[in-house]
Amino acid sequence: MTFSFIFKVHKACFSICAGSSRCRNLRNQILKVGSAKQSARLFTFNELHAATEGFKAACLLGEGGFGKVYKGYIDSINSKQAVAVKKLNRKGMQGSREFCAEVIMLSLFQHPNLVSLVGYCAEGEQRVLVYEYMASGSLEDHLLDIGPNQQPLDWYTRMRIAEGAAKGLEYLHDVAKPAVIYRDFKASNILLDSQFTPKLSDFGLAKLGPTGDKSHVSTRVMGTYGYCAPEYACTGKLTKMSDVYSFGVVFLELITGRRAVDETKPEEEQILVSWAQPLLKDRSKFSLIADPLLRGNFPVKGLHQALAIAAMCLNEEADCRPVMSDVVLALEHLSKPRNEVVIDDESKHSPVQLTNVQSLKRRSSKAELDL
């Protein structure tokens, strides 16, 4: 992928944002690039209106700041394909920029832990995105919005979700060229398929990472309160470490079952990170951090190691946080029950899980957690 292509796509985006009738430009520019990972289908608004039965309320899957998402069915080879159709709010240029960002990012980058873009519509003032349908909804649905008759996620499912989401960030940071800073990592943006495989969604706030000798991207502060890294919230300087901090918040949500911000709790417990920080410094209180819905069904050592990873990701000093590739390495074995962990000849003299977490700790030497 070349930067000349990025420039061409942005030109096409501005054409769309300005209401140009040449809305096919974006699709054509993406298809011309050999490194584009997937070609998005261009839909008419009538096709998507029919696919969702007129955007019927019964088809509504959810609603966010950028629009409503509906379940729909489109014609596919020999069958109907279930899709998620996001109809963006028509709020001028800002909504169009987010629309363009999603089309660009999801057309250029493909990974098992990123949601797939099926297509889009940019007809007149309509901005609609079509994604693969994720049958199990969002992580928020299963972790933070649990109904009285809903089974809570077990420990290893939580760790597998964390591992998969971490791999999605690792791909954006280390494999995608140019690198991408996701900027909106939170439970509601982690979608789950029928097997609970996590995929990152909603790339409307994603930014291309710094290039050359630049250390950061300067941008208006965007994101969700409670998930934003403190240095980004204060300065607007965005780096990959901003995503690492947000990952730490979500990982803490997975461990505790608590929201990043919960105004229904006592004042001293409303901000998850602030509530957890003193507990993370006292091993005798680690069990108080675990989600009560787990009913103690978790490995004690696994809990301690998971808290170590969370604490390192949440370090107030951005330079002391681990990179996502190291986080993935540590999580790969935490997500497997002990009898499923494969120990090769080179590592059989020491537990794999402990080795990975200690290695991660060495790379983040200022983390304030005594293992």
Lookup: tokens for 12:
């096409």
Domains annotated on the chain, with CATH: 3-132 (3.30.200.20), 139-363 (1.10.510.10)
**How far apart are alpha carbons 24 and 42 in whole angstroms?**
8
Rounded-to-integer distance, Cα 355 and Cα 341, Å: 13
Distance CA 162, CA 226 (A): 18
Contact yes or no for 72/132 (Cβ under 8 A): no
Tell me the three state secondary structure of residue 80: strand
Mean pLDDT of 154-179: 95
Q: Global pTM?
A: 0.83
Known catalytic membership, residue 145: no
Among candidates 27, 52, 65, 44, which has minimal Cα distance to 124?
Answer: 44
Secondary structure (DSSP) of 195-207? T--EEE---TT-E
78/87 Cα distance (integer angstroms): 26
Handedness of CA 8, 10, 14, 15 (dihedral sign): positive
Token reading at 81: 């394909």
Question: What's the token pair of residue 142?
Answer: 């299963």
301 is in an annotated binding site: no
pLDDT at 272 over 90: yes
- Cα separation values, 7 from 13, 27, 36, 76, 123, Å: 10, 14, 14, 32, 22
Overall size of the chain counted in residues? 371
Taking only the tens place, the pLDDT of each residue in 288-300 is 999 999 999 999 9
- The pLDDT of residue 19: 44
CB-based contact 192:164 (threshold 8 Å): no
Count of Cβ atoms closer than 10 Å to residue 118 Cβ: 21
- pLDDT single digits (tens) 329-355: 999 989 988 765 554 544 444 444 555
- pLDDT at position 43 over 90: yes
Q: Could you tell me the pLDDT band of residue 220, with boundaries at 50, 70 and 90?
A: low
CA dist list (Å): 156 to 114, 163, 246, 303: 21, 10, 21, 11
Q: What is the DSSP letter of 149?
A: T
Tokens coding 363: 């790379």
- The 10s digit of each residue's pLDDT in 45-62 is 999 999 999 999 999 998
Catalytic residue among 75, 141, 154, 184: 184
Q: Please, are residues 239 and 181 in contact by the beta-carbon 8 Å criterion?
A: yes
Higher pLDDT, 352 or 76: 76
Cβ–Cβ contacts within 10 Å for residue 184, how many? Answer: 22
